[in-house]
A and B are shown apart, each in its own frame.
Chain A
Amino acid sequence: MVRLFGPLVGLFFAVALLWSFGNGAYNAATQPTPPTAEALFHMHPKEVAFSFDGAFGTFDKQQLQRGFKVYQEVCSNCHSLKQVAFRDLTALGYKEAEVKAIAKNWGNKAQTFDPKTGDRGERPNLPSDHFPPVYYAGQGAPPDLSLIAKSRHGGAQYIHALLTGYVDQAGYKNEAGEELLKKFPDAKTPDGLYFNPYFANLNLAMPAPLVSDGQVTYSDGTPATVDQMAKDVAAFLTWTAEPKLDKRKQTGWPVLLFLLAATALAYLAKRNVWADKH
């Protein structure tokens, strides 16, 4: 039975697939899909080195503090950071008193609700609070940034590329030398959106947030160029997405070294046990 019906079922699926394949090939030949503007003009992130790259890389706390400052002064106007608590900032090298002050002076206050009276109110943030929600007046809600570095292909490099990637759309050419608006006259950025070739569909609602050198005043003397600020905030957002990165790698090396030794011993034990059987 199996040997009778098996081949029939196999041929049935094969013919159905051939039919699909034929239709697909016919369509591809008669109505080739024209390439889209996104396919031709979307750019992959620029190569940037970060201190936390590779199996030995760790966070640079100075850089994380600078990045936090960029988030505080620029990004936090529109973007929340709800998975992160103020107390977590001690990992950046801030003292407890500093964290207390940062929480207390944070622009958006913690929301309170009194179940007895039904009153809603505000109070200053405490270190134990998570970063408060941000109320955005415009359309749509800017994404929460807590996990942005892990939720985008390219991670920190993507954030850096996006923040430094705003260009004038007029006359924009890709690496092949094709001009966007000549090839796709309809792809003109609509009003209210901003052109950025590192963004998946080329136009996004966020205007360039980092526009001039020195926009954020660094206290450690690092020149606050746009490129530097973009790198620093990308590093900071990698920390918010993966705060245990240092701990993870620090744990990983002893674990791997132990396993290497244990596996070597297991191999020798196996050879010893099998010595008379080969």
Chain B
Amino acid sequence: MSFPWANEYKPSHPLMQWLDDRLPLPRFVYNAVGAGYPVPRNLNYMWNFGVLAGFALVLQIVTGVVLAMHYAANDKVAFDSVEHIMRDVNWGWMLRYAHANGASMFFIVVYTHIFRGFFYSSYKAPREMIWLLGVVIFLLMMATAFMGYVLPWGQMSFWGAKVITGLFSAIPLVGPPLQEWLLGGFAPDNAALNRFFSLHFLLPFVILGVIILHVWALHIPGSSNPTGVEVKQESDTVPFHPYYTAKDGFGLGVFLMLYCALVFFAPNLLGHPDNYIPANPLSTPAHIVPEWYFWPFYAILRAFTSDFMFIPAKLMGVLAMFSAILVWFFLPWLDTSPVRSGHYRPLFRKFFYLLVVDVLVLGYCGGAPAAEPYVMISQIASMYYFLHFLVILPVVSSIETPQPLPFSITEAVLGKDEHAALAPATPAVA
């Protein structure tokens, strides 16, 4: 679907006409990310992050495929093969640092993209499916990143794999056999390393497939926008190209500068020194921590320190950690306010900022040693996390009085819209 005023693809060159009649791929691109896709004219820079996430995925696939040409997925030589890449492969050090920091940049971009969705309620009807697919992409990203971190077969790789697969052993009855089945052994070893490599290579392409569905679903209702008011007329939109290609080009430049600053000047800033020690099953690191992008969820996992009723603390932690993400699937039905944008929801906005701080606190505690005061802080912060999504959001939606919305996107941008005078009284809900 598109708006009736969308530009139509008209190939002028005979070759392009010939192609359009047989395989209208240029038409498809034109309608998807070209001049044929009308987009709200008021998108702010928070709307750059979808394109940036797609770019980050391509970057990971390109660097990853080349790294895979030099890497050996065998527990005897994996660590040394990574050092071989760092020392003897032409520009291997750059590829590896680009891939490792590319993962961090991917998560920075995707977290911003997700929180953009939280603030502007991008998950609300008619965009629920875009949101649901997005959560699936995030889950796949987490699995891919986790398995990628295991591949260098350093200390944190090994012990991270042991801890994370150990989570499955908390499941009653089937837990321990399930963990053995996942690892192909009683502890991470060559079998686990090989299957993680195989899946780490496969999953990015699965992500790519789900991204295609995500963008397809996006093109049904069209992009949301900072006012949350739906597109009503042609003056509310601009063609994606050149307006948003130009804007995304600038955003991409800023992204690349930050990324290259990391790769070339602080490549190990976001990593853990222990992963430069070869995996040793007989020596447990003092503090086992995952990569920074898992810290908030790791804090939730570790916050459950006491058995609750008949449920062991470990199982509670595992349930809570998975629920912390699964709860996002239910957001479209938990937040019932008819107004989308946080700009017009004063009470919601306060809780949103509280959530941002809460997740940052959780992240900090997740990276800190499992000792006081971090455990107690993460218990309070985890409590807020669950209450925010499952209790506060539904309550706020029903008691809050939203501020009046602009009549249209045009009015929001230009301050006036001649169509507004002709329309009936401004509805509170768009």
Q: Once bound together, how far apart are the Cα atoms of A273 and B254, in whole Å? A: 18
Across the interface, name the chain A residue whose C-beta is closest to B241.
A273
The answer to whether A270 touches B391 (Cβ under 8 A) is: no
Cβ-defined contact, A277 with B243, below 8 A: yes
Tell me whether A10 and B257 are in contact in the complex, defined as CB-CB below 8 angstroms, given that A18-B383, A20-B306 are known contacts.
Answer: no
B83 at the interface (CB under 8 A from A): yes
Do A251 and B94 touch across chains, with their CB atoms under 8 A apart?
yes
Expressed in whole angstroms, the Cα–Cα distance for A253 and B387 within the complex equals 47
Please determine whether A248 and B276 come into contact, CB atoms closer than 8 angstroms.
no
Q: Mark B311-326, 1 if CB is under 8 A from A, else 0.
A: 1010010001001000
B41, B286, B380, B389: which contacts A10 (Cβ < 8 A)?
B389
A73 to B72 Cα, complex, angstroms: 35
Q: Is the CB of B306 within 8 A of A23?
A: yes
Contact A277/B41 with A9-B323, A251-B264, A259-B253 known, Cβ cut-off 8 Å: yes
17 contacts between A and B (CB under 8 A): A6-B334, A7-B390, A11-B387, A16-B311, A19-B308, A20-B379, A55-B265, A151-B275, A248-B94, A251-B264, A255-B260, A259-B257, A269-B250, A270-B249, A277-B243, A277-B413, A278-B413
Tell me, in angstroms, the Cα distance from A118 to B87 when the chains sit together.
Answer: 32
Known interface pairs A3-B334, A6-B330; A14-B383 also in contact (CB < 8 Å): yes
Q: Is the CB of A13 within 8 A of B376?
A: no
Smallest Cβ-Cβ distance to A272: which chain B residue? B246
**Given contacts A14-B383, A16-B308, A18-B379, could you give 17 more A-B pairs where the C-beta distance is less than 8 Å?**
A6-B330, A13-B386, A14-B391, A19-B306, A19-B308, A20-B379, A24-B379, A147-B276, A243-B87, A248-B97, A259-B256, A262-B253, A263-B250, A263-B254, A263-B256, A267-B253, A270-B247
Q: Which residues of A contact B252 (CB under 8 A)?
A: 266
A29 smallest CB distance to B (angstroms): 11
- Which residues of A have CB within 8 Å of B87? 83-84, 88, 243-244
CB pair B394–A7 under 8 Å, yes or no, is: yes
Please pick, from B253, B256, B330, B386, the residue contacting A14 in the complex, using a CB distance under 8 A: B386
Contact check, A20 vs B308: say whether CB atoms are below 8 A apart.
yes
Interface residues of A (CB under 8 A from B): 2-3, 6-7, 9-11, 13-21, 23-25, 28, 33, 55, 83-84, 88, 143, 146-147, 150-153, 200, 241, 243-244, 247-249, 251-253, 255-256, 259-260, 262-263, 266-267, 269-270, 272-274, 277-278
Q: How far is the CB of A205 from chain B (nearest CB, A)?
A: 14
B260 touches A273 (CB 8 A): no
The answer to whether residues A252 and B264 also contact, given A2-B330, A17-B382 and a CB cut-off of 8 A, is yes
Stretch from B1-9, B108-116, B166-174, B266-274 that touches the partner:
B266-274
Given that A20-B379, A147-B277, A263-B257 are known contacts, is A3 also in contact with B394, CB under 8 Å in the complex? yes
Q: Are A249 and B372 in contact, CB atoms less than 8 angstroms apart? A: no
For the complex, give the distance between the alpha carbons of A263 and B330 in Å. 39
**A20-B320 in contact (CB<8A):** no
Task: For the complex, give the distance between the alpha carbons of A150 and B387 in Å.
Answer: 41
B387 contacts across to A, CB distance below 8 A? 10-11, 14
B17 within 8 A of A: no
Chain A residues with Cβ below 8 Å from B413 are 277-278
> What residues of chain B lie closer than 8 Å to A15, measured between beta carbons?
308
Residue in chain B with minimal CB distance to A268: B250
- The answer to whether the Cβ of B336 comes within 8 Å of any Cβ in the partner chain is yes
User: Which A residues are in CB contact (< 8 Å) with B263?
Assistant: 252
Q: Which residues of B contact A3 (CB under 8 A)?
A: 333-334, 336, 394
Is B180 in contact with chain A by the CB < 8 A criterion?
Answer: no
Residues of A contacting B327 with CB < 8 Å? 6, 9
Tell me, yes or no, whether B238 is within 8 Å of chain A by CB. yes
**CB of A234, distance to nearest CB on chain B (Å):** 15
Complex Cα spacing A272 to B391, Å: 47
Say how far A25's CB is from chain B's closest CB, in angstroms: 7
Indicate whether A151 sits within 8 Å of B394 (C-beta atoms), given known contacts A20-B313, A263-B254: no
Instruction: Tell me whether B303 is interfacial, beta carbon within 8 Å.
Output: yes
**Contact assessment for B394 and A24 in the assembled complex, using a CB-CB cutoff below 8 Å:** no
What residues of A have a CB within 8 angstroms of the CB of B403 in the complex? none
In the A-B complex, list the 4 residue pairs whose CB atoms are closest, starting with the nearest. Answer: A252-B264, A10-B390, A263-B253, A151-B276
Q: Which residue of B lies closest to A255 (CB)?
A: B260
On chain B, the residues within 8 Å of A7 by CB distance are: 390-391, 394
A16 touches B304 (CB 8 A): yes
> Quick check: B394 and A6 within 8 Å, CB to CB?
yes
> Given A2-B330, A21-B380, A274-B246: A256 and B277 within 8 A (CB)?
no
**Residue from the list A11, A84, A269 in contact with B391, Cβ < 8 A:** A11
With A248-B267, A270-B250, A277-B238 already in contact, the answer to whether A256 and B261 are too (CB < 8 A) is yes
Known: A200-B286, A270-B249, A277-B243. A6 touches B390 (CB 8 A): yes
B305 interfacial by beta-carbon distance below 8 Å: yes
Closest-by-CB residue of B relative to A241 is: B276
- Taking CB atoms, residues of chain A closer than 8 Å to B333 are 2-3
Chain A residues within an 8 Å CB radius of B80: 83
**B336's closest neighbor in chain A, by CB?**
A3
Partner of A13, one of B253, B286, B382: B382
Inside 8 A of B97's CB, which chain A residues have their CB? 248
A7 to B390, CA, bound (A): 5
| Contact of A260 with B334 in the complex, beta carbons under 8 Å | no
